[in-house]
Amino acid sequence: MKLSSYRQSDATTINLLFKRVFSDSEGPAEGALIGNLVLELIETTQPEDIFGFVAIEQTIIVGCIFFTRLSFMTPIDAFILSPVAVHTSYQGQGVGQKLINFGIDTLRKKGVKLVFTYGDPGFYAKVGFRQITEDVVKAPFKLTHPEGWLCQSLDDTEIEAIPGNVNCVKALNNPRYW
Ligand SMILES: CC(C)(COP(=O)(O)OP(=O)(O)OC[C@H]1O[C@@H](n2cnc3c(N)ncnc32)[C@H](O)[C@@H]1OP(=O)(O)O)[C@@H](O)C(=O)NCCC(=O)NCCS
pTM of the model: 0.95
Q: How much distance in Å is there from the Cα of 42 to the middle of ligand 1? A: 23
Ligand 1: residue of 14, 65, 91 to mutate (most ligand atoms within 8 A of CB) is 91
Q: Which helix (H) or strand (E) holds 12?
A: helix 11-26
Ligand 1 atom having least distance to the Cα of 83: 48
Ligand 1 atom having least distance to the Cα of 98: 12
Ligand 1 atom having least distance to the Cα of 97: 12
CATH of the domain at 79: 3.40.630.30
- 127-167 per-position pLDDT tens digit: 999 999 999 999 999 999 999 999 999 998 999 999 999 99
Q: What is the mean pLDDT of residues 6-16?
A: 97
Please work out whether the CB of residue 92 comes within 6 Å of at least one atom of ligand 1: yes
Question: What residue's CA is closest to ligand 1, atom 42?
Answer: 85
- 79-126 per-position pLDDT tens digit: 999 999 999 999 999 999 999 999 999 999 999 999 999 999 999 999
- 29 exposure class (CB count in 10 Å sphere: 0-12, 13-18, 19+): exposed
Ligand 1: residue of 84, 115, 149 to mutate (most ligand atoms within 8 A of CB) is 84
The tally of domains found in the chain comes to: 1
Q: How much distance in Å is there from the Cα of 73 to the middle of ligand 1? A: 33
Give the structural domain span for 76: 2-177
The pLDDT value recorded for residue 156 is 86
**Is the bond preceding residue 28 a cis peptide, omega within 30 degrees?**
no
* 3-class state of residue 163 by DSSP: coil
Please work out whether the CB of residue 94 comes within 6 Å of at least one atom of ligand 1: yes
Q: Are the CB atoms for 21 and 84 separated by under 8 Å?
A: no
Name the average pLDDT for the chain: 97
For 85-134, give the DSSP string.
EE-GGGTTSSHHHHHHHHHHHHHHHTT--EEEEES-HHHHHTTT-EE--T
Please work out whether the CB of residue 83 comes within 6 Å of at least one atom of ligand 1: yes
Ligand 1 atom having least distance to the Cα of 84: 48
